[in-house]
Amino acid sequence: MGKPTGFLEFNRKANPSRPMRERLADWDEVYLLRSDQMSVNQGARCMDCGVPFCHQSAVIEGAATGCPINNLIPEWNDLIFRGRWKDALDRLHHTNNFPEFTGRVCPAPCEAGCVLGIIDPPVSIHDNEWTIIDKGFENGWVVAEPPGSRTGKNVAVIGSGPAGLACAAQLNRAGHLVTVFERDDRIGGLLMYGIPNMKLDKSVVTRRIDLLAAEGIEFRAGIDVGRDLEAEELIDQFDAVVLACGATKPRDLPVAGRELKNIHFAMDFLRANTKSLLDSGLSDGNFISAEGKRVVVLGGGDTGTDCVATALRHRAAYVSQFEILPMPGTERDNENNPWPQWPKTLKVDYGQREAIYTQGKDPREYLVMTRKFEGDADGNVKALRIVTVTWEKDEQGRFFPREFPNSERVVEADLVLLAMGFLGPEDYLAEQFGLERDPRTNIKADHGCYATNIDGVFSAGDARRGQSLVVWAINEGRGCAREVDKYLMGDSYLP
């Protein structure tokens, strides 16, 4: 398969990004696709391993390694190398309903597992995937494929994020009539409002949703099940119900001053921005502007990064990003974090790069804990009191942060964004359905079977798993669809 010596001949080449000046001035996607020949060479780097670690869906020490949806990476890498893009697309779609999403937003645990990573930079799997699907759309290969016949069964899917959409797509393919409920005004959940446009252009999302609709899925936006529609009613109307409503309860920071104005959850900030962008090109003003403000983002994850990038596009005066954990190393620690584990190394993402470009340095500070917020007379936040911490182990061996003596200092801020993760699904829905929950408040259902304690009610995605990656959501959506199909029909042909 492929070119046996490709990895010895070609270096890794990732997708290029647009020039800073240009991209900071608009909301278009940051990355561009490589040339065809470059993609062919990148495909050739794949070694077609007998045991492709990229293709496994594993979680080691809490982090994913390998592809959670078991993308057939060696196979499509080979097909890319041979220039057989259509075949590559078919094999990609075999495991992944939405490669255009994962190709853009997935942190690529596959590359962590890539065997070539033992000795060289891994194969650029993420970018290869993106290239395949975009070529597919470009060539008109991605078309709606409605099922040949209908089973007569109805399924309700609550939530139109990646889990809900994947589940709906698969169930529809098996011939069930699927209705997707979304409480927001637009379909797409996290894909629509959770991820900013420069990372995932919303036309990419709607393009897929249009395809799904053309395949026969009914989308009902603006219906908040549990509030607008009773659970009982739903159970009556549908042969099965899938809860894929995400883990949208944000983690708060209950410190003094939290009630001050201009302290927002990151999601509120991002959602409003995208909505206003889509509604009016930000002309309606219905968003939280960071323009001219000193912005502090609390949380060093991907959402934090999105906040940084969004704030910079608002032309914030200055953006800082605080993280309570220590700064990871730049090289993999082969003793404690060996291949194929997810490498806990410092990642400089697009947002940080943009901050470096505009502000001259990485916006992130590590080992920072916020003690309190301070405000002005009008109740607007003005500053944060922060301390430096060190991480120590308690008696049970658990790490906890200890304040570094005399490290308290004040950071001025006009806008604070809390991007510290999510706790679990909203309570009202689960309560109304009478669902059991796990200790982390997620809906209780086992991975692989997805059935909740209520007959005919299933749950998948972040709602069941807790906050996670888009690609896990797709994994869960597909798996859940298979289980629902079996539940309805006794068996399933779904891959």
Partner 1 sequence: MNSKQQKGLYRPEFEHSSCGIGFVANLKGRKSHKIISDALSMLFRMEHRGGTGFDLKSGDGAGILIQMPHAFFADICPLEGIELPEPGKYGICMTFFPQQEGPREACRAIFDRSIEEVGLSLLGYRPVPSDNSDLGQTSRESEPHAQQVFIGCPDDMDLDTFERKLFILRRYTEHQIRQTVADGGDDFTIISSSHKTINYKGQFTTAQVPLYFGDLQDERMVSSIALVHSRFSTNTFPSWKLAQPFRYIAHNGEINTIRGNINWMRAREALLKCSAFSRDELEMIFPICDERASDSANLDMVVEMLVLSGRSLPHVLMMMIPEAWQHHTTMSETKKAFYEFYSALMEPWDGPASICFTDGVLVGATLDRNGLRPSRYCVTDDDTVIMASESGVIDIDPATVKFRGRLQPGKMFVADLAEGRIIADEELKNDICSRQPYRQWIDNGLIYLDDLEQPTEEHLQPNQERLFKRQLAFGYSYEELSEILAIMGRDGKEPLGSMGADNPLAVLSDRPQQLSHYFKQLFAQVTNPPIDPIREKVIMDLRTYVGGFKNILTESPEHCCRIAIPQPVLINRHLEKLRYADHKHFQTKTLEILFKADGLQGRLEKTLARICRYAEDAIEDGYSIILLSDRGMDSDHAPIPSLLATSAVHHHLIRSGKRGKVDIVVECGDVREVHHFATLLGYGASAVNPYLAFESLVDMCEKGILGEASVDEVIANYVKAINDGLMKIFSKMGISTLASYQGAQIFEILGINQEVVNTYFSGSVSRIEGLGLDQIAEETLRKHRKGFPLRGGGGKVLDSGGDYSWRQGGERHLFNPTTIRLLQEATREGDFEKYREYCKTIDEQSKAAYTLRGLMEFQSTKKPVPLEEVEPAENILKRFATGAMSFGSISWEAHTTLAIAMNRIGSKSNSGEGGEDPVRYKLLPNGDDRCSATKQVASGRFGVNSYYLSKAKELQIKMAQGAKPGEGGHLPGHKVSGWIGRTRNSTPGVGLISPPPHHDIYSIEDLAQLIFDLKNANRDARINVKLVSETGVGTVAAGVCKAKADAVLISGYDGGTGASPISSIKHAGLPWELGLAETHQTLVRNRLRNRIVVQTDGQLKTSRDLAVATLLGAEEWGVATAALVVEGCIMMRKCHSNTCPVGVATQREDLRAKYTGKVEHVITFFEFLVQGLREIMAELGFKTINEMIGQADCLKFRDTVEHWKYSGLDLSPIIFRERSGEEEGLYCSKNQNHQMDEILDWKLLEAAGPALEKGECVEGSYVVNNTDRAVGTLLSNEISKRYEGAGLPEGTIRFKLRGSAGQSFGAFAVRGVELELEGDANDYFGKGLSGGHLSVYPDSTAQFAAEENIIIGNVAFYGATGGKAFIRGIAGERFCVRNSGAEVVVEGVGDHGCEYMTGGRAVILGPTGLNFGAGMSGGIAYILDESGEFPNRCNMGMIELEDLEDREEIDSLHALIEEHHTKTGSTVAERILNNWERWSRQFYKVMPSDYKRMLNYISKVRSTGKYSEENDIMDAAFNMHIKNMLIETQARDVEMNIAQVVHSQ
Residues near partner 1 (CB under 8 A) are: 1, 4-5, 7-8, 47-53, 55-58, 60, 66, 70, 72, 74-75, 78, 82-85, 90-91, 93-94, 113, 115-116, 118-120, 145, 147-149, 151, 170, 173-175, 338, 340, 485, 489, 492-495
Give me the residue label for tokens 């637009």.
Answer: 186
Q: Nearest approach, Cβ of 149 to partner 1 (angstroms)? A: 6
Q: Nearest approach, Cβ of 215 to partner 1 (angstroms)? A: 12
Contact 104, 204 (CB under 8 A): yes
Closest to partner 1 by CB, 88 vs 429, is 88
- Rounded Cα gap, residues 37 and 204, in angstroms: 25
Pairing of strands 63-65, 457-459: unpaired
- Rounded Cα gap, residues 141 and 158, in angstroms: 29
Contact 279, 286 (CB under 8 A): yes
Closest to partner 1 by CB, 8 vs 256, is 8
360: left (phi over 0), alpha (psi -120 to 50) or beta: left
Q: Nearest approach, Cβ of 469 to partner 1 (angstroms)? A: 17
Strand (E) positions, 172-272?
177-182, 218-221, 240-243, 249-250, 263-265
Contact 262, 380 (CB under 8 A): yes
- What crossing angle do the helices spanning 73-81 and 36-44 adopt, rounded to 10°? 130
> 99-122 burial, b for 16+ CB within 10 Å, e for fewer?
bbbbbbbbbbbbbbbbbbbeeeeb
Closest to partner 1 by CB, 24 vs 49, is 49
Closest to partner 1 by CB, 68 vs 188, is 68
Q: Nearest approach, Cβ of 49 to partner 1 (angstroms)? A: 5
Closest to partner 1 by CB, 80 vs 308, is 80
Closest to partner 1 by CB, 116 vs 463, is 116
Token pair listed for 103: 């190709």
Closest to partner 1 by CB, 99 vs 196, is 99
Closest to partner 1 by CB, 48 vs 224, is 48
Token pair listed for 489: 């029909």
Which of 87, 104, 227, 102 lies closest to 165 in space, CA to CA? 102
Token pair listed for 388: 């430096």
Q: Nearest approach, Cβ of 58 to partner 1 (angstroms)? A: 6
Instruction: List the end-to-end C-alpha distance of the chain, in Å, as a whole number.
Output: 24
Closest to partner 1 by CB, 49 vs 317, is 49
Q: Nearest approach, Cβ of 81 to partner 1 (angstroms)? A: 9
Q: Nearest approach, Cβ of 365 to partner 1 (angstroms)? A: 34
- Rounded Cα gap, residues 66 and 110, in angstroms: 4
